[in-house]
Amino acid sequence: MIQLYNLTLDELTDLFAKWGEPAYRARQVWRWLYVQKVTDAAEMTNLPAPLRERLAREASVNMLEPVRRLFSADGRTVKWLFRLPDGQLIESVLMGYADGRRTACISTQAGCAMGCVFCATGQMGFARNLSVGEIVMQAVEVARWLESRGERLSNVVFMGMGEPLHNYDAVLAAIRRLNAPEGLGIGQRHITLSTVGLVPQIRRFADEKLQVKLAVSLHAATDEERSALLPVNKRWPLSELIGACHYYVEKTGRRVTFEWALIAGENDTMAQAHALGSLLEGLLCHVNLIPLNPTSGYEGLPPDKQRVAAFQKILADHGIRSTVRIRRGIDINAGCGQLKAEVLKEEHRA
């Protein structure tokens, strides 16, 4: 079965040429996929009936089967759990903001090989990479749902399940598809890629010279502390990671955002705050402080507000700008991998 969302426009044109169809049919179908966002070839009403019937027989428009959709009490967060054709489960989250932004947080892998101890996805291990179509379709699904309510998708963040740079080629192709005027038309500066710190891939990504934002999951400012939380640090320690971040800034002129999940009694200490300030001095960057979203597989808890404020003040004393991210969707397991873990437990009990 041909998965239409896996194809580029050129590949779709080539397919139709083999089928004896004119090139303009490919652009018609492409528009149905990315502008009209249909879920069935039968809805492509400007195509001749025989072509629609062939598409229905030999191609698939939809690779994502909705398993569950949850709405947060905050009124601005929606989480989807999708089943892929091979049975794997992935998650996507919509986050709405008061300034009008509508952001899709999408997954790049089924599971994750990075093993970050506080992450529900890391706790479940790695299954496989997602295809370009499986990545892009998540944004399409969120955009379709928003459009049905008179809203539009404005931002995409690669911060869902998986390590984006571990699936480099598919993710880069997905970024270009999201950004393209004939794709979803999301501006590069409205796209963010998050990584735990795969140093060679960060340097490679810098060389692409895109205007996509880079976010690095840091979470600790010393190698001993970081290696305990993020095993990837044993392969690429902080000196190499921060060196790659400097390279990214030099190549792109864009600042790096560092993600810091604040864990009470672990990395919320004043010593870690000073170490972080010293580590980042001289680097064009910003720090997102995120009180931990607890998971069943990790005993850590978020710190209280006073502790967070004290941590942030020390960063400011070092000249490092930071913001405290409001935790979203706690009531709907919006944290990466949490809903999948819950559903897998339910299916196992059944």
Q: What letter does residue 304 receive in the DSSP assignment? A: P
Report the alpha-carbon distance of residue 323 to residue 320 in Å, rounded.
10
| Secondary-structure breakdown of the chain: helix, strand, coil percentages, each rounded to the nearest 5 | 45, 20, 35
Report the DSSP pairing between strands 155-158 and 126-129. unpaired
Which backbone phi and psi does 171 adopt, to 5 degrees? Answer: -65, -45
In terms of phi and psi (left: phi > 0; alpha: psi -120 to 50; beta: otherwise), the region of 309 is: alpha
Q: Which residues are known to be catalytic? A: 91, 336
Rounded Cα distance between 10 and 124, Å, is 37
The rounded distance, in Å, linking the Cα atoms of 199 and 223 is 15
> Any alpha helices (H) in the chain, and if so which ranges?
9-18, 23-31, 49-58, 120-124, 132-147, 168-179, 199-207, 223-229, 238-252, 270-280, 305-317, 338-349
How far is it, in rounded angstroms, from Cα 334 to Cα 337? 8
Q: Is 125 left (phi over 0), alpha (psi -120 to 50) or beta?
A: left
Distance CA 37, CA 184 (A): 10
Specify which residues 59 forms β-bridges with: 2
